[in-house]
Chain A
Amino acid sequence: MKKILIGLGLCAAVGVFLLTSSGCGKRQEDLNTITVWHWMTDRNKALEELASKYEQQTGIKIKIDLFAPSESYTQKVVSSAQSKVLPDIYGILDKKEVFAAFIKSGFIADITADFKANNNEWENQFFPKALDVNRFTEGNVYGVKAGIYGVPLDVTTIEMLYNVKLLKKAGIKAPPQNFSEFLEAIHALKRVGVSGLVSGWGELWMIDSFASNYAFNIMGEEKVMATYRGEVPYTDPDWIKVLDVFKQLVDNGALIEGVVTKPNKYAEQDFALERAAFAFNGSWCVNVYNDMNPNLEYGVMLPPLANSNLPMKIWGGAGSSFVVNNTSPRKDKAIAFLKWLSAKDQQAYLAKATKNLPANREALAEIPEVLSAFASSMDQVTHPTVWSLNENPVVSEAFLKGIQSILIGEKTPQQIAQNVQQVKQEQLAKKKK
């Protein structure tokens, strides 16, 4: 009996140890340490240096935790929200509806009052488009109280890039402005044995970005939104034209081999190592190309127009933003740190160290020269997070996977349009139910 009691006692002791060590017991709160979670491997060192500078100035310790790649980071944030163990400052890398769900669940603080204080002093420092990503307007479809819920750290634009040397080799004097000029350039490049366009189309969001550029250019924003509302079918001739852009790229041999399974990292490598003359990539690439091939000569251009009557809209806005945990006991200190981080000096330092466009427009004067071309397209910028509504994710998946089917020569634009419309109708019927 004694042995049994000893055994049970041991079990109880192990249980108590496990429970207390795993955090069930109330921990002592350290009010002077702010934890920041992020995913930006290229900015980690610069952020750590700024954190240490902030500690020297204020005595508040900033703990920078990096979780990469971004997919793992997103999973970590979602699972931490589910178990209510989010840090003081973190970023949402997901769609606007996920951002909204976090706000509605009370995981993100409304910092509108801080932005508006002293005659909008903090708000006025930023590019309006960078702030829009973190803003919810009155009567938004997500049902979120109007306000600003995040602080942009930098801005990005996703555009086309061209290799100056390879274009010269093919006898192309100026970068193409419209789609037919682009296809002519492709043929000229092919004649000298150079591949045309590379992009990370193994990642669906990169295809999404390219396709929505052309959807806005071919039919305009209102018609795209009408399609999302279910008022215009995907079988509409304009949508067929959008899908046909990909078909033409395939038919004219404009794409580098294997583009459909290429993650963006490999696509960046291809362009940096001069295996393709054009790339579709974001402004973060300046840093990446600099690491891979510092001698690379390239320029920035908008995707060539398919319709000269409407402007080309590109994805962009806040590249990365931070939000404040609404349940954090250090909420005010976290906001104060973000105010400091987004101030001109810190933004200029970040832009210089990481070659990213600063979100603070006052710091723009101090950016590296190569980023200016990206910055000049800020007026053309749009993003799903600022649209009045987004497409149902199931329909989006059918659309993007359909484009991949066009890229591998398996289906025609008409077949994909019909298939996507069928999925759309199913989802609309489900919503009605």
Chain B
Amino acid sequence: MSAETLTAQPKPRALVVKDNLKNLAFVLPAVIIFSVFYVYPFFEIFRLSLQSWDGISPTSSWVGLANFTELMRDKIWWSSMWHAAYITLIALTFQNALAFALALACDREIRMQRFYRVVFFLPPVLSEVVVGMIWQWILNSDVQGGQPIGVLNYWLTQMGLPQLVHHWLSDPQTALTCIAVVHCWKGFGWGFIMLLAGLQTIDHQLYEAAKVDGANSWHTFRHVTLPMMVPVISVVMILTILGSMQVFILIKAMVSQGLGYHTEVPVTRILLSMQESGRFGYACAMGVTFGVFLIGLSLASKLLSGKTKQ
């Protein structure tokens, strides 16, 4: 076979067009759906963020960047961002560490492995409202006839620890942390399933090779498991950030509109601007800013995990 026959011949133009059309036919439905339901609403929200609109009237007035400048000075908005960041921070550390530890445990040959997998995945399938109401009942600080009604306070009293009885959800010092812990309880199952799936894709030969080289459990984890899991951990982290920053149903179910501004998060601020104040333009400006912030955070997280992998 001569070298000339091995060299790739350029395709005729008609064939290239045909190939492109073929590809387009496959991609087109997805592009249309994505454009109609994602791209168009985003641009519409951006357009509205530059207007003053009450959400009902057929007309709105152009205000340019006024909504964004007001937002930059809105202290309550930035404190709500901090509250969401606090919940996210707890979720990133506590929730993901728990998910990883449980995934590592379930990846081994243990008894009732399937049972644990089901149990750990139960909280995420429950409705957030239901979870919020259950925990509201557990953390309830009401008293009847001198006895606490809330499950946690009741058991603290029964165990001889009445000094630990607390108004968990109506004290600004503990309310947000309680919400963050419940959020972690509800969310760790997703991380658990993804991390467990990731662990099961690691080639066992790598572990055997490490064993032959005399690596102990810690070294195997540090130099085999962890590097191999970086892509999965990165996805879990991004999903945790996106999910935790947007938490709000749990807050509504657990503390309603209460506690001043102590349990405000960006989504509750957006809702309040839309529903209570009728400031759709301002709410859209919040939405756009928050969206850009989340995209930036996800990109930063992706870059960080890329560097860690290297």
Q: Which residues of A are in contact with B by a Cβ distance under 8 Å?
A: 1, 3-4, 7-8, 11, 14-15, 71, 74-75, 78, 81-82, 95, 97-98, 101-102, 104-105, 107, 193, 195, 200-204, 256-263, 266, 270, 273-275, 393-394, 396-397, 401-402, 404-405, 408, 410
B278 within 8 A of A: yes
What's the least CB distance linking A409 to chain B, in Å?
Answer: 9
Given A257-B167, A258-B167, check contact A15 B32 (CB 8 Å). yes
> B75 → chain A, closest Cβ, in Å?
11
CB-defined contacts of B145 to chain A, threshold 8 Å: 193
**Residue contact A261 to B142, C-beta cutoff 8 Å:** no
B18 touches A1 (CB 8 A): yes
Across the interface, do B257 and A393 meet the contact criterion of CB distance under 8 Å? no
Which residues on the B side are within 8 Å of A200 (C-beta)?
Answer: 256
Q: Which B residues are CB-close (under 8 A) to A204?
A: 257, 276
List, in ascending order, chain A residues with CB within 8 A of B18's CB: 1, 4
Check A260 against B275 for contact (C-beta < 8 Å): no
B272 at the A interface (CB under 8 A) = yes
Q: A11 near B29 (CB under 8 angstroms)?
A: yes
Contacts A7-B22, A404-B258 given: A410-B172 contact, CB under 8 Å? yes
Per a CB cutoff under 8 Å, which of B26, B262, B275 touches A7? B26
Would A275 and B144 count as touching, CB distance under 8 A?
yes
User: Are the CB atoms of B32 and A78 closer together than 8 Å?
Assistant: no
B 131-178 contacts with A by CB, 8 A: 136, 140-146, 149, 167, 169-172, 175
Asked if A98 and B141 make an inter-chain contact with CB atoms under 8 angstroms apart, the answer reads no
Closest 10 CB pairs of A and B: A202-B256, A7-B25, A261-B258, A393-B277, A202-B258, A261-B255, A258-B170, A101-B56, A405-B260, A404-B260
Please give 19 more A-B residue pairs, beta carbons under 8 A apart, in addition to A393-B276, A397-B276.
A3-B22, A7-B26, A11-B32, A82-B56, A95-B278, A97-B54, A97-B278, A101-B57, A202-B255, A256-B142, A257-B167, A260-B258, A261-B254, A261-B255, A263-B256, A270-B142, A274-B144, A275-B142, A404-B260
State which of B26, B28, B56, B276 has its C-beta within 8 Å of the C-beta of A81: B56
A401 interface neighbour in B55, B146, B261, Cβ under 8 Å: B261
Q: A7-B22, A78-B56, A82-B56 are in contact. Are A408 and B254 (CB under 8 A)?
A: no
Nearest opposing residue in chain A for B58, CB measure: A105
Chain A nearest CB, measured from B160 CB (Å): 21
Pair A8/B25 contact, Cβ less than 8 Å: yes
Known pairs A75-B275, A261-B170, A401-B261; A203 contacts B28 (CB<8 A): no
Report chain A residues within 8 Å CB of B143.
195, 257, 275
Verify B146–A260 contact, CB threshold 8 A: no
B170 and A98 contact, CB distance less than 8 A: no
Q: Which residues of A contact B254 (CB under 8 A)?
A: 261
When the two chains form the complex, which single residue of A104, A203, A257, A274 contacts B141, counting CB atoms closer than 8 Å? Answer: A257
**A257 contacts which of B56, B142, B278 (Cβ < 8 Å)?**
B142
Distance between Cα atoms of A337 and B183 in the complex (Å): 48
B39 interfacial contact with A, CB 8 Å: no
Known: A78-B56, A257-B170. A408 touches B260 (CB 8 A): yes
Q: How far is the CA of A259 from the CA of B143 in the complex (A)?
A: 12
* Residues of chain A with a CB closer than 8 A to B276's CB: 204, 393, 396-397
Choose among B56, B258, B262, B272 the residue that contacts A102 (Cβ–Cβ < 8 A). B56
Which B residues are in CB contact (< 8 Å) with A8?
25, 28
Q: Quick check: A258 and B169 within 8 Å, CB to CB?
A: yes
CB B253 to nearest CB in A, in angstroms, measures: 9
Q: List 14 A-B contacts (CB under 8 A).
A: A15-B32, A98-B278, A102-B56, A105-B58, A107-B56, A193-B146, A257-B141, A257-B170, A258-B170, A261-B259, A262-B258, A273-B144, A275-B144, A394-B277
Q: Is B21 an interface residue (CB 8 A)?
A: yes
Closest residue to B143 on the A side, CB-wise?
A257
| Cross-chain contact A258 with B57 (CB below 8 angstroms) | no
B contact residues around A3 at 8 Å (CB): 22
- A392–B278 alpha-carbon span in the complex (Å): 11
> Can you name the residue of chain B whose Cβ is closest to the Cβ of A411?
B260
- Total count of chain B residues near the partner, CB < 8 A: 43
CB distance from A344 to the nearest CB of B (A): 35
**Assembly CA distance A81 to B169 (angstroms):** 37
The distance from the CB of A429 to the nearest CB of chain B, in whole angstroms, is 12
Closest to A78 in B: B55
Q: Are A258 and B140 in contact (CB under 8 A)?
A: yes
Is B258 a contact of A105 with CB atoms below 8 Å?
no
Closest to A6 in B: B25
Residues in A with CB closer than 8 Å to B257 are 202-204
A71–B256 alpha-carbon span in the complex (Å)? 12
Q: Which residue in A71, A394, A408 is a CB contact (below 8 Å) of B170?
A: A408
Which B residues touch A397, using CB under 8 A?
A: 272, 276-277
Closest B residue to A95 using CB positions: B278
Q: Which residue of B lies closest to A79 (CB)?
A: B55
In the complex, residue of chain B having the shortest beta-carbon distance to the beta carbon of A71: B275
- How far in angstroms is the closest Cβ of chain A from B177? 14
Write the chain B residue with the least CB distance to A195.
B143
Answer whether A258 and B272 are a contact pair too, CB < 8 Å, given A78-B55, A101-B56: no
Q: Chain B residue with minimal CB distance to A275? A: B144
Which chain B residues lie closer than 8 Å to A410 at the CB level?
A: 172, 260
Interface string of B265-278 (1 = CB under 8 A from A): 00000001001111
CB distance from B121 to the nearest CB of A (A): 28
Chain A minimum-CB-distance residue to B142 = A257
Question: Which chain B positions have C-beta within 8 A of A258?
Answer: 140-142, 167, 169-170
Question: Given the complex, which residues of A lie within 8 Å of B175, measured CB to CB?
Answer: 261
The answer to whether A262 touches B256 (Cβ under 8 A) is yes
Is the Cβ of A104 less than 8 Å from the Cβ of B57? Answer: yes
B88 to chain A, nearest CB (A): 22
Smallest Cβ-Cβ distance to A75: which chain B residue: B275
Chain A residues with CB below 8 A from B28, complex form = 8, 11
Cβ–Cβ < 8 Å partners of B140 in chain A = 258
Query: In the complex, what distance in Å separates the CA atom of A257 from the CA atom of B141?
Result: 6
Residue of A nearest to B264 (CB): A401
CB under 8 Å from chain A, chain B span 51-71 = 54-58
